[in-house]
């Protein structure tokens, strides 16, 4: 279960949070503060705990009075960086449409931001990384950058990791220019990033080599059927009984 | 008022006759010379007593309408429940009730509980059970009105209150089938109420008043429904019981662990069914991770730890499959659907439709029998969905048909008429077409549909890419772009490369079984369900595409995997068939030389000891399909 163990139970999760995620205490509205604090801890420390964040959205779903749009936006930004896992959609699934909340002091930013965040997500999901950065850097997204991602430590690097996951599965070599457009880096910053990935940039050609991994090595195979003993149980037992 | 009274009295003589017929002792606390009583102007009846009396009279009239056979049935049913006679209860529940419903109540309600109360000595517990059936019949055969919806909630509360808050476990035995129906119906009515509540546009004043009342806000709340299910699970210690079984604990140890409630079949089954009920509730509310998390101790694909109705397995597979679909773990979804479709037959059309969606999102090899039925029913749609963006409408239609009716956790603001009005007619001048008053507000189904549709759309370039790449072992990316840009619509190389990455991502996914590798982790050979529990949310990366490729700068290299011919299933099936035929022949008596008519006997092959074929050849296939 290697692919999901960190998602199911990240090392940063404390016992207190684990009890909230896995027990019936998750329904207790008075625990929302603990989970929200944990979210802000994730925001500051480049950590991520999807199930704990879903527990916040669950409490919001059942207790609309608790609803805090800033928290929701931060959860969605965190979930963006989990692609290709479907975390973003799992969060959206819990966001019941609410009648406009008049009790908030300030206007609810979510109705305007949600379509923008969804667009960002779709670009990532379609592996249109250059387009993602163009939209992300646009004026329209200024409010997201200045109010939210600026506080979210390592947000842009986490998005670069999303691109890196697709690139290293698909390419053995890729031009530095193209790669740069996927991760919104160039020059020495790109070189440093490539080095951090432990990929190799050939300075003379500007081509980046990506080391072999299970996804970028291909071979033609013929899949043979595998027959297990239990499948032959009846045939064998019959042949033993037959005189 | 007076007029109505006369009409009621006019029916009185018949009423008496009928009651005498059934020979049931009913107290009638009415003066004998009633006509005089009403004529007496000096008599002062207070309003309350008058109403009570009228109600009583109405009930007697209703009682008179009940056919004798129904009265006898109720008396008998009541006795069976009093005796805790499971067999008799089962007969009454499964055949008696259904038969009488067909005969007398196909289009009307059963008699009200208050009306039949005299038949069962006013046994409150039986009356609660009776109302459970009464309302279920209203929901399934008739149209529940707003009163029915509130009253069925109250009755459910009374039932669960009795089960959970009596002094110790109650002395009641009910068949598994009924217990499942109780849980299942409870959730169905919750779902039905939520959907009813979510459409404020079409409500009568009465309905609006009820929904705005304090009780209206409480009835069928998500918290109350979850509370019932979690309480039943905790009271019965169903999770602890399942865990102990999986760990192979002895019967004595298990008895110790589950306590006085959990040892009773009634509570044990209710607890187990409540876990599966929770799966469904979480799915309806859009919490697909939590839904699978609560199922951790139950698992999937294992035999139920007791004989459970087929509906339990169908509900489990359907809802768990939906979770995997929404988690984009398509092979896991397909496997769960296939697992149950293998042994329930044609009753689950929606699951076949979901399998068609799975097949489009991630074609993997599935059980041939099941896949043939999918193609038979949805072959045309599968074809249309393979045609890129124009397939979207077919995809959406099929999803909307096959998905559950998702619900909102919260009510529209019925208690705040101004807010409700602004919800129905948004003050901002929108274009008149965008918000017709009949649209269902807060429809969560649309939200889930959007997520699925955008995933579907992201995959639309894959089929044509794939068929093109199959023709080559290596191909220049620019050339590939040229091939794809036949219309000159301007597919550029960057776009094609992003499609290639999408295709790469679509070719692998997280799943619970590595279906391509030899290490196929045997889900099906469970040793009597004693496998240690494992997380239904866990999984490993696996490759699900037969076409693999890699890009070296601008050159695409392609490798195709082929599936070798499969012989095992055919061989095993036919060997087993031969063995059965052989056994049959050996077990038949030699035909007497003189009498040819006996020959007929050898045609129907008698069962032979030692030929284990209770499950038929399917078992062998079950293994092959995953290999």
Name the residue among B522, B564, B575 with its Cβ closest to that of A223.
Answer: B564
Phi-psi region of A228 (alpha: psi -120 to 50; beta: other; left: phi over 0): beta
Give exposure, B255-281, as e/b (b: 16+ Cβ within 10 Å). eebbbebbbbebbbbbbbbbbbbbbbb
| DSSP tally for chain A: helices H, then strands E | 13, 4
Contact B222, B285 (CB under 8 A): yes
Lowest mean pLDDT among A175-179, B286-290, B558-562, B591-595: B591-595
Interface with B, mutate which of A125, A131, A199, A237 (most B CBs under 10 A): A125
3-state secondary structure B25-42: CCCCCCCCCHHHHHHCCC
Lowest mean pLDDT among A22-31, B6-15, B36-45: B6-15
Q: How far apart are CA A91 and CA A61, in angstroms?
A: 11
Identify the CA nearest to A125 among candidates A152, A68, A86. Answer: A86
Size of interface A-B (CB pairs under 8 A): 206
Other CB atoms within 10 Å distance of the CB of residue B253: 12
Please state which CATH class domain A1-96+109-170 belongs to. Answer: mainly alpha
* Percent of residues, chain A, with pLDDT higher than 90: 65
Name the residue among B222, B498, B539 with its Cβ closest to that of A1.
Answer: B539
Which residues of chain B does A3 touch, with a Cβ-Cβ cutoff of 8 Å? 510, 539-541
How high is the pLDDT of residue B541? 86
Which residues of chain A does B290 touch, with a Cβ-Cβ cutoff of 8 Å? 54, 58
| Residues paired with residue B558 on neighbouring β-strands, in sequence order | B549
Which residues of chain A does B326 touch, with a Cβ-Cβ cutoff of 8 Å? 86, 89-90, 93
Confidence of residue B29 (pLDDT cuts 50, 70, 90): very low
How high is the pLDDT of residue B19? 37
pLDDT tens digits along B362-399: 888 777 788 888 999 999 999 999 888 889 999 999 99
The complex scores an ipTM of 0.90
Interface list for A 165-224 with B (CB within 8 A): 166-167, 169-175, 178, 207, 215-224
Contact B70, B105 (CB under 8 A): no
Contact B362, B506 (CB under 8 A): yes
Q: How far apart are CA A51 and CA A43, in angstroms?
A: 15
Q: Which has more pLDDT, A128 or B64? A: A128
Q: Which long-range contacts (CB under 8 A, 24 or more apart) does B201-204 make?
A: B201/B424, B201/B437, B201/B438, B201/B441, B202/B438
Which residues of chain B does A231 touch, with a Cβ-Cβ cutoff of 8 Å? 568, 572, 619-620, 623-624
Interchain CB distance below 8 Å, A173 and B552: yes
How high is the pLDDT of residue A240? 80
Name the residue among A2, A178, A234 with its Cβ closest to that of B540.
Answer: A2
Q: How far is CA B44 from CA A133, B7, B49, B54, in A?
A: 86, 21, 10, 15
Which residues of chain A does B408 touch, with a Cβ-Cβ cutoff of 8 Å? 96-97
Pinpoint the alpha helices (H) of B507-565: none
Q: How far apart are CA B368 and CA A209, in angstroms?
A: 43
Name the residue among A99, A231, A237 with its Cβ closest to that of B413.
Answer: A99
Q: How far apart are CA A158 and CA A149, in angstroms?
A: 11
Confidence of residue B596 (pLDDT cuts 50, 70, 90): low
Statement: residue B427 has pLDDT above 90: no
Lowest mean pLDDT among A92-101, A116-125, B617-626: B617-626
Interchain CB distance below 8 Å, B505 and A84: yes
Contact B538, B296 (CB under 8 A): no
Interchain CB distance below 8 Å, B458 and A235: no
Name the residue among B458, B564, B568 with its Cβ closest to that of A222.
Answer: B564
pLDDT tens digits along A216-226: 888 877 777 77
Which residues of chain A does B537 touch, with a Cβ-Cβ cutoff of 8 Å? 4, 8
Confidence of residue B302 (pLDDT cuts 50, 70, 90): low
CA nearest to A62 within chain B: B409
Give domain limits for chain A.
1-96+109-170, 171-217
How high is the pLDDT of residue A105? 63
């Amino acid at each position: 279960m290697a692919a999901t163990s960190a998602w199911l139970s990240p090392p940063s999760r404390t016992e207190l949070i684990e009890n909230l995620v896995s027990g019936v205490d998750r329904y207790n509205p008075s625990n929302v503060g603990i989970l929200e604090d944990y979210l802000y801890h994730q925001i500051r420390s480049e950590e991520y705990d999807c199930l704990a964040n879903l527990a916040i959205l669950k409490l919001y779903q059942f207790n609309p009075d608790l609803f805090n749009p800033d928290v929701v936006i931060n959860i969605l930004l965190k979930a963006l960086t989990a692609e290709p896992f479907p975390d973003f959609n799992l969060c959206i699934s819990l966001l019941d449409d609410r009648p406009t909340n008049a009790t908030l002091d300030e206007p609810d930013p979510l109705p305007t931001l949600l379509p923008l965040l969804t667009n960002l997500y779709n670009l990532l999901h379609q592996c249109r990384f250059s387009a993602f950065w163009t939209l992300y850097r646009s004026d329209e997204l200024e409010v997201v950058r200045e109010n939210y991602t600026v506080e979210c430590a390592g947000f842009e690097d986490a998005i670069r990791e999303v691109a890196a996951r697709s690139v290293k599965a698909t390419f053995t070599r890729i031009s530095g220019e193209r790669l740069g457009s996927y991760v919104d880096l160039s020059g020495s910053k790109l070189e440093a990033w490539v080095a951090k990935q432990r990929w190799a940039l050939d300075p003379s050609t500007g081509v980046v080599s990506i080391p072999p991994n299970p996804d970028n090595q291909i071979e033609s195979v013929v899949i043979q059927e595998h027959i297990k003993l239990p499948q032959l149980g009846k045939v064998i037992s019959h042949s033993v009984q037959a005189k | 008022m007076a007029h109505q009274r006369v009409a009621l009295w006019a029916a009185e003589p018949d009423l008496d006759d009928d009651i005498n017929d059934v020979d049931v002792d009913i107290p009638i606390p009415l003066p004998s010379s009633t006509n005089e009583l009403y004529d007496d102007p000096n008599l002062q009846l207070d309003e309350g007593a008058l109403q009570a009396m009228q109600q009583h009279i109405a009930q007697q009239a209703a009682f008179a309408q009940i056919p004798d056979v129904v009265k006898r049935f109720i008396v008998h049913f009541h006795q069976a429940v009093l005796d805790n006679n499971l067999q008799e209860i089962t007969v009454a529940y499964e055949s008696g009730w259904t038969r009488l419903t067909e005969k007398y109540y196909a289009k009307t309600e059963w008699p009200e509980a208050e009306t039949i109360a005299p038949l069962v000595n006013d046994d409150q517990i039986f009356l609660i059970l009776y109302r459970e059936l009464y309302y279920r019949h209203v929901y399934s055969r008739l149209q529940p009105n707003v009163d029915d919806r509130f009253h069925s909630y109250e009755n459910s509360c009374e039932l669960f209150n009795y089960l959970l808050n009596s002094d110790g476990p109650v002395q009641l035995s009910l068949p598994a089938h009924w217990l499942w129906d109780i849980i299942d119906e409870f959730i169905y009515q919750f779902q039905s109420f939520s959907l009813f509540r979510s459409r404020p546009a079409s409500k009568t004043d009465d309905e609006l008043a009820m929904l705005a009342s304090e009780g209206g806000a409480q009835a069928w709340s998500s918290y109350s429904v979850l509370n019932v299910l979690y309480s039943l699970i905790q009271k019965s210690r169903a999770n602890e019981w399942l865990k102990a079984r999986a760990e192979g604990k002895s019967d004595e140890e298990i008895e110790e662990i589950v306590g006085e409630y959990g040892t009773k079949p009634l509570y044990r089954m209710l607890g187990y069914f409540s876990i599966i009920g929770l799966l469904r509730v979480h799915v309806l509310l859009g919490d697909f991770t939590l839904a699978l998390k609560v199922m951790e101790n139950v698992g999937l694909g294992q035999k139920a730890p007791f004989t459970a109705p087929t509906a339990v397995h169908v509900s489990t597979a359907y809802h768990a499959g939906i979770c995997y679909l929404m988690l984009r773990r398509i092979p896991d979804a397909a496997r769960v659907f296939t697992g149950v479709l293998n042994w329930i037959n044609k009753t689950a059309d929606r699951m076949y439709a979901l399998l068609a969606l799975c097949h489009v999102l991630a074609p993997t090899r599935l059980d041939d029998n099941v896949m043939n039925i999918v193609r038979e029913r949805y072959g045309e749609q599968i074809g249309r969905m393979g045609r890129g963006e124009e397939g979207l409408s077919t995809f959406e239609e099929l999803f909307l048909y096959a998905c559950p009716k998702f619900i909102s956790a919260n009510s529209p603001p019925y208690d705040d008429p101004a807010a409700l009005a602004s919800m129905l007619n948004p003050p901002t001048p929108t274009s008149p077409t965008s918000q017709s008053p009949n649209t269902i507000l807060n429809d969560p189904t649309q939200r889930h549909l959007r997520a699925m549709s955008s995933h579907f759309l992201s995959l639309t370039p894959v089929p044509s890419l794939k068929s093109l790449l199959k023709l080559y072992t290596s191909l220049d990316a620019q050339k590939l772009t040229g091939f794809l840009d036949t219309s000159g619509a301007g597919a550029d190389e960057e776009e094609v490369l992003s499609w290639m990455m999408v295709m790469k991502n679509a070719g692998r996914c997280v799943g619970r079984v590595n279906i391509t590798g030899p290490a196929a982790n045997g889900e099906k050979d469970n040793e009597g369900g004693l496998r240690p529990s494992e997380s239904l949310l866990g999984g490993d990366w696996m490759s699900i595409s037969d076409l693999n490729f890699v890009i070296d700068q601008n050159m695409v290299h392609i490798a195709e995997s082929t599936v070798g011919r499969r012989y095992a299933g055919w061989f095993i099936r036919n060997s087993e068939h031969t063995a059965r035929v052989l056994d049959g022949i050996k077990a038949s008596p030699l035909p007497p030389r003189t009498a040819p008519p006996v020959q007929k006997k050898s045609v129907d092959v008698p069962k032979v000891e030692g030929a284990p074929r209770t499950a038929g050849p399917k078992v062998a296939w079950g293994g092959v399909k995953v290999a």
